[in-house]
Amino acid sequence: MNARARCCGIVPILLAATLALATSLTRGVSAQSDSVASSQKKDPAAETALQKGIALTRQGRFEEAIAPLLQARGKVAEEYASEFNLALCYLGTGQYGQAIEILNGLRSGDHDTAAVNNLLAQSYIGSREQEKALEALQRAAAQTPKDESLYAYVADSCTDHNEYALGLRVVEIGLEHLPDSARLHYERGMFLARLDRLEEAKPEFDRASDLAPGSDIAYLASVQEALYEEDFQKALRLVRGAIEAGHRDYQMLSLLGTILMHVGATPGEATFTEARKALEDSVAAQPRYSTAQIALGKLYLMEGRTKDAVSHLEIGRNLEPWNPSVYTSLATAYRKLGEREKARECISVLSALLRGNDKAGSRIVP
């Protein structure tokens, strides 16, 4: 796939890893804390704060959750719930050092679990400590070798941080335990394609489709293969077919909107209206999906809705601050609003990111 198509945000992340963890891993710790708190309350206000923090964490409102979780820290019956959720929120807000400190504290106690090692692997990826990330993943894999979501969450974190070679190693570890996982074969294809190894990626996309025919993974694999081959009309047909078959989730809607924009939808055309509706529905379904937020911001910018564009682009920047394309669009929007200082700031950040990307290869595990 060429740089222009990649810049358009067409290739989606399979899941927002920390948000997925917030709605799955916290179920166990929150349920545990509920039962303990009812009989062993230390501080009623702290227990209430803990439950508020857990609820906000489940909703993906990580920044808001930190304050009540800090209020509960050290004052509740179930300290594991407090610490685990706080680490998850630090991970979700990019405060990797704080997350690592908490998670290593849990490991050194009685909580050297797969869930803790899962978060620890993601935190080390965020802090660019690849070998430690792999060590944490291996510990989690030894504890729950058949847990497909473990490898997928850590792979998503690699995607989030552009660590594609590391991501390839992660999914290959997963495939050792789950050789018939359509999801992991799809992820392997994505990492190979991102590393410009498309001929190796194609059989992985085909394998994913064969293992789960008619599934969302099968459709995604076929769409991504078409995109990397730059056959956008085929990709558009596949996405529309997936939605008609019932796979109308935020990822498919985001793909529909971004592909329509990429093939030339312009304001006033029916395809532009279709793209806008798809992206607005995607954002409504999953507000923390940065791909759709950024694409919708760009669409509003094309439409002349500059203030609306800035709102969505800023959300995208907060979710994905390392994405260069968001700063180009933001700089344009701020110039149109006459806010030249903010436009210059965006260009400055963009330049720094591009310089950093040029050097990033030295950090990638071969």
Give Cα 221 distance to the centre of its chain: 18
Name 164's Cβ contacts closer than 8 Å, sequence gap at least 6.
158, 191, 194, 195, 364
Work out the percent of the chain whose per-residue pLDDT is above 70: 86
Name 74's Cβ contacts closer than 8 Å, sequence gap at least 6.
82
- Total H helices, total E strands in the chain: 20, 0
> How many domains, in total, are found in the chain?
1
88 belongs to a structural domain:
yes
Q: Taking the C-alpha atoms of 41, 42, 46 and 48 in order, what is their torsion angle to the nearest 10 degrees?
A: 10
What span, in angstroms and rounded, lies between the C-alpha atoms of 134 and 137?
A: 5
91 belongs to a structural domain:
yes
328 belongs to a structural domain:
no
Sort residue 9 into left (φ over 0), alpha (ψ -120 to 50) or beta.
left
- pLDDT tens for each residue of 180-209: 999 999 999 999 999 999 999 999 999 999
- pLDDT tens for each residue of 322-360: 888 899 999 999 999 999 999 999 999 999 988 865 443
Residue 103: which CATH number?
A: 1.25.40.10
221 belongs to a structural domain:
no
272 belongs to a structural domain:
no
Q: Tokens standing for 179? A: 């050789």
In this prediction the pTM is 0.82
Q: Tokens standing for 151? A: 């490898």
35 belongs to a structural domain:
yes
What span, in angstroms and rounded, lies between the C-alpha atoms of 234 and 52?
A: 46
Residue 255 has pLDDT above 60, yes or no: yes
292 belongs to a structural domain:
no
What span, in angstroms and rounded, lies between the C-alpha atoms of 75 and 296?
A: 43
288 belongs to a structural domain:
no
Residue located via tokens 């995604």 = 220
Which residue segment(s) compose the domain that 17 sits in? 9-179
